[in-house]
Structure 1
Amino acid sequence: MSDDDEFVEVQRFRQIHYGSLEDQERARLAQNDEVKANVNNDALEAGRASGNINITEGDTFDLEEHNRETQAELLAEFEKRKKARQIQVSTDDSEVKATLRQLGEPICLFGEGPADRRERLRKILGQLGEDSYKHRGEDASKKAKKEEENITWYHEGSENLEVARYWIAEYSIPRAKTRIHKQKDAKAVPTTQKNAKTQDLHKRARAVTNECSQIGDNRPLSFCQFSPDSKMLAIASWSGLCKLWSIPDCQLIRTLRGHNNHVGAIVFHPQATVNLDESACCLASCCQSGTVKLWNLKSEEPIADIEGHAPYRVSRLAYHPSGRFLGTCCFDNSWRLWDLEAQEEILHQEGHSKPVYDLAFQSDGALTMTGGLDAFGRVWDLRTGRCIMFLEGHLKSVLSVNFSPDGYHAVTGSEDNTARVWDLRQRKCIYTIPAHTNLVSKACFQPEHGNYIVTGSYDCTAKIWAHPIWSPLKTLAGHEGKVMGVDISPDLKYIASCSYDRTFKLWTSELQGGL
């Protein structure tokens, strides 16, 4: 047999027993696939057993049947995003910040640029919706309008006002300089010596008792003030009369006739009874009809009238420390400043939203303070005309204001039954005295050093409060009606109180040394 025949026989034998070469290769691959599948199945079973593989068997997630709420939320979110994309947002970064501020959102986040800020605003507007944004815009416009109404308006003044402001500046600056030097000298006094004086003063204040009581008129008494020499007491009455009484014997000196209804206040010129002639203008008074009258110490008739308030009520008035100017409170929500030498009104100042009830001048003459029925007080700089401090804190009408002789403390009495002490340097209220069980009609500092405050109230009492610890020292009880006014004599010997019961009383310390 040849070699070729032998090769053919071998191939035939392999084909019979093993199949063709393609069949053998196919069988080999199939066997390899089976081996791999077995290995993968074993690995899958091992992973499933260990908890690393979780395969659901035929479960499906049916959105329609099981998660309709989620679907609705997603659709709503898509709608919000669609609306947000349609909202027109300004490309001006300042306008974007203004809108964010209006919406109560922070105008800038850490690392945020103008584009990011604009996109954040777009998202916020998309969440709020256009209606909500419009309502917020309306509320903001109303708020802005309300703030506009509370703005203090300054009107252009006359040439005489400019001259008066320069005069007040020249008058007040040397007085302020002298006051500050005195305060520096007082600061150098040892603390032990200061404490001893304060304790002695408080001891005398606790020993205050009623010296005398006098019927002042047949109608309620509304106001009282000592003369600069402490030898007279001026009393105002609802009968329209004003009376001058001698101190301390309480004898009637003169009755001033001129008003025809309730007199709100009567005040002495700062130099009256000291070095001012008796025939000059020594007193001023005001009444409910809006009239202001000037008086001397010789006649029972007024020597001059100040017109310009009618028909509005004039509740209180006060002399400037120089005596040249007179301040009046009017129920047309303003206060006025009158130049008595030029005999004209030089300032008509608005600023309160309700009637101005009381005003007081600082001892230097640079500042004035007003209290209104709007429950606010204001401090004005007479040299510039600006409102330099807004006294906010009382819950009801401010009925009394007064400066301390130190120049930077002030006290206000209110219809909310409290007295508040303010520090002009710190520009805030430093203490609230829960003074009485009824409204505080009058509050004033001791005129020499301000070591105590006297308050009068409609609860029929007056009280003395220590400064600066604000503890009660003495309650002056004895009136049968509302206490309408109180005052402290310049020589510090007496405290006077007048009442709705038609009487006025003098109070003094049983110990020597005065108050």
Structure 2
Amino acid sequence: MNEFGSTTKRMEDEYEDGSEIGYIDRAAESTLEQHRKVLEEFERKREARGILLPTDDVQVRKELRKRQVPVTLFGEDAYDRRERLRLILALELEKAEKESDETQVIPEGPKLGDDKQTETFYTEGTARLRAARKEICLHSLKCARERVSQEKRRVRALKAFSEQRNDMDDEDFSLAHSWQEKRKEFIKSAQFMSVLSSQFGDERPLTGIRFAPTHQILATCSWSGVIRLWNVSDCNEVGVLRGHSERVSSIAFSPHVSSSYLLASASADNNVRLWSIDCDNYSLTKTTVLRGHSARVTSVEYHPLGKYLATASFDHTWRLWDVETRKELLVQEGHSKPLYKVSFQVDGSLAISAGADCGARLWDLRTGRSIASFLGHGKPILTVDCSPDGYHFATGSEDHSIRIWDIRKKRCVYTIPAHSALVSHVEFHKNGHFLLSSSFDNSCKLWSTQGWVLIKALIDHEDKVMCCNSTSDGQYIASCCFDRTWKLWGVENWAQEKEEGEEAPLLLNGMEDERMEISH
């Protein structure tokens, strides 16, 4: 036998002994086994997320007791207990499927967590919640009908206006021309926007700022737990609201004003307060505390009706309150981590919640169902706001970006690399011409809603910008900062600047060419 033949024979002997190839096979089998276990665990968790569970902690305890497992573990809260039940049900489901494959016998009767079940678990709502949903439904249908009709008319008029058609009636021409002129006027004025006033707001960092519906006053809140009222005309303090024992994280004015302003505030003391403020002398007439959250409340927002209030919290839930009766109507779970923001769609039929789980959820207030989940941000979502068009909303995240989402397509349609630090606040203006954002990169920015082009950057702050807000006419913008100051932005001597602006080249022409045909 030649040398080559002896070498081949020796290799075959080694393979038969399993000294080399056997080791490789065992290593490969071990790796494949690890991958198989990881995939099984991933599949088990995926199936567990689809299991319907009762939201009431009492019912969760009953289900655990029924399965003869500990009702509660050391350091376990209601959410952890619910997730433990979810995992137990997933294991039961997996075991039942294996037994079914072996015996070819279908288990008798549906079980909790079985995807073949015909019964869905619901927590029964109160009569007040049923009445509120009916009222929201009727209001949203009316608003949606008017919004869609106006939008169709505006789009038709703009199309005819751009094509210079002769068959346009005077009313459509006036509508298209008016909308174009208002947008041009705002973009021109934005080029000259600067700081009109800068005020020291509190002894500790400011966290929120909001204009009242009448634009006569604005309110600021801070880590000191104090809310201060300011006169917009001279930027002087006109009132102080004290009541929270911890820092205040968010404030919101009711959209409707009668003889008094109604202001809501959310705090780290787990409470929400409603303040009634006299419109004439800005004195406090009444205050009410809403208790229910078990962790710090991060956001408060009024429903467009003005009768309901939504709050988001670190207890992983958002809640709906009746402002008139001061009663809690709804406790909504669904997020796996703390919530930072909840916002209402312009018609009032939908709510959008977002938080530290890097996702946003869309809720139908008329039925209580979760319609869709929106995933895409790489870090927690800190802020969310809905567009006046009714089908877009924006989210700002710690990943420094703003994402524009389409509710109809259920996906992100545009990503704005907006800031060089986390985005602390986003807000659509009521006229739909621009999106306002603030960031920890010490700036506020205005973005055109046609093409998402930058209109103006407001960069006079010396520290992190915590929040911003604009008046409904777009004349003023207010922003508050971590350095305990707030600033009022606007255009000084607008008539003179307008004449100069007509000769200056603007971004307008470039923006007018942009349309809503946006891509990733």
Show the counterpart of 2:290.
Answer: 306
Could you say if the C-alpha distance between residues 409 and 260 of structure 1 is closer, same or farther in structure 2, counting changes exceeding 3 Å? same
- Which amino acid letter does the alignment assign opposite residue 327 of structure 1? A
Deviations 1:214-244 (A, max 9, x none): 2222221110111111111011111111111
Work out whether 1:402 is the aligned partner of 2:369. no
- Which amino acid letter does the alignment assign opposite residue 304 of structure 1? T
C-alpha contact 1:377 1:391 (8 A) present in aligned 2 = yes
2:39 to 120, 134, 140: 140
C-alpha contact 2:186 2:474 (8 A) present in aligned 1 = no
- Which amino acid letter does the alignment assign opposite residue 460 of structure 1? N
- Aligned partners of 1:447 and 1:154: how far apart in 2? 39
C-alpha contact 2:384 2:395 (8 A) present in aligned 1 = yes
- Aligned partners of 1:159 and 1:176: how far apart in 2? 27
**Cα displacement (A) at 1:64:** 7.4
- Which amino acid letter does the alignment assign opposite residue 256 of structure 1? L
Could you say if the C-alpha distance between residues 390 and 229 of structure 1 is closer, same or farther in structure 2, counting changes exceeding 3 Å? same
TM-score between both structures, scaled by the size of structure 2:
0.71
**Cα displacement (A) at 1:360:** 0.8
C-alpha contact 1:157 1:346 (8 A) present in aligned 2 = no
Show the counterpart of 2:212.
Answer: 227
C-alpha contact 1:422 1:428 (8 A) present in aligned 2 = yes
- Aligned partners of 2:458 and 2:363: how far apart in 1? 33
Deviations 1:167-222 (A, max 9, x none): 21111111111100110111112344566654443222222111111222222111
- After superposition, the CA RMSD in angstroms is 2.9
Deviations 1:81-134 (A, max 9, x none): xxxxxxxxxxxxxxxxxxxxxxxxxxxxxxxxxxxxxxxxxxxxx999986775
Show the counterpart of 1:245.
Answer: 230
**Cα displacement (A) at 1:149:** 5.7
Show the counterpart of 2:117.
Answer: none
- Aligned partners of 1:242 and 1:71: how far apart in 2? 85
**Cα displacement (A) at 1:426:** 1.7
Work out whether 1:288 is the aligned partner of 2:268. yes
- Aligned partners of 2:461 and 2:35: how far apart in 1? 55
1:159 to 126, 138, 149: 126
Q: 338-347 or 475-484: which moved more? A: 338-347
- Aligned partners of 1:462 and 1:434: how far apart in 2? 14
**Cα displacement (A) at 1:146:** 2.9
Deviations 1:294-348 (A, max 9, x none): 11113437521101114x1001110111111111111111111112234321211
**Cα displacement (A) at 1:290:** 0.7
C-alpha contact 2:404 2:415 (8 A) present in aligned 1 = yes
Show the counterpart of 2:470.
Answer: 488
Could you say if the C-alpha distance between residues 149 and 487 of structure 1 is closer, same or farther in structure 2, counting changes exceeding 3 Å? farther
Q: Report SS of the residue matched to 1:417.
A: coil
Work out whether 1:433 is the aligned partner of 2:400. no
Show the counterpart of 1:215.
Answer: 200
- Report % sequence identity: 38
- Aligned partners of 2:219 and 2:402: how far apart in 1? 25
- Aligned partners of 1:442 and 1:487: how far apart in 2? 9
Show the counterpart of 1:471.
Answer: 453
Show the counterpart of 2:395.
Answer: 412
Deviations 1:17-56 (A, max 9, x none): xxxxxxxxxxxxxxxxxxxxxxxxxxxxxxxxxxxxxxxx
Work out whether 1:365 is the aligned partner of 2:362. no
Deviations 1:107-166 (A, max 9, x none): xxxxxxxxxxxxxxxxxxx99998677545532331134335655866413233233222
C-alpha contact 2:277 2:286 (8 A) present in aligned 1 = no
Show the counterpart of 1:186.
Answer: 154
C-alpha contact 2:475 2:490 (8 A) present in aligned 1 = yes
- Aligned partners of 1:322 and 1:412: how far apart in 2? 23
Any unmatched runs of 5+ in structure 1? 1-58, 81-125
Matching of residues 497-508 of structure 1 within 5 Å: 497-508=479-490
- Which amino acid letter does the alignment assign opposite residue 145 of structure 2? K
- Aligned partners of 2:157 and 2:196: how far apart in 1? 34
Show the counterpart of 1:15.
Answer: none
- Aligned partners of 1:129 and 1:66: how far apart in 2? 24
Any unmatched runs of 5+ in structure 2? 56-122, 163-176, 499-520
Show the counterpart of 1:424.
Answer: 407
**Cα displacement (A) at 1:72:** 8.0
Show the counterpart of 1:12.
Answer: none
Q: Report SS of the residue matched to 2:353.
A: strand
Could you say if the C-alpha distance between residues 189 and 509 of structure 1 is closer, same or farther in structure 2, counting changes exceeding 3 Å? farther
- Aligned partners of 1:231 and 1:144: how far apart in 2? 57
- Aligned partners of 2:26 and 2:367: how far apart in 1? 50
Q: Which protein is bigger by CA-based radius of gyration?
A: 1
- Which amino acid letter does the alignment assign opposite residue 216 of structure 1? G
- Which amino acid letter does the alignment assign opposite residue 319 of structure 2? R
- Which amino acid letter does the alignment assign opposite residue 350 of structure 1? E
Show the counterpart of 1:268.
Answer: 253
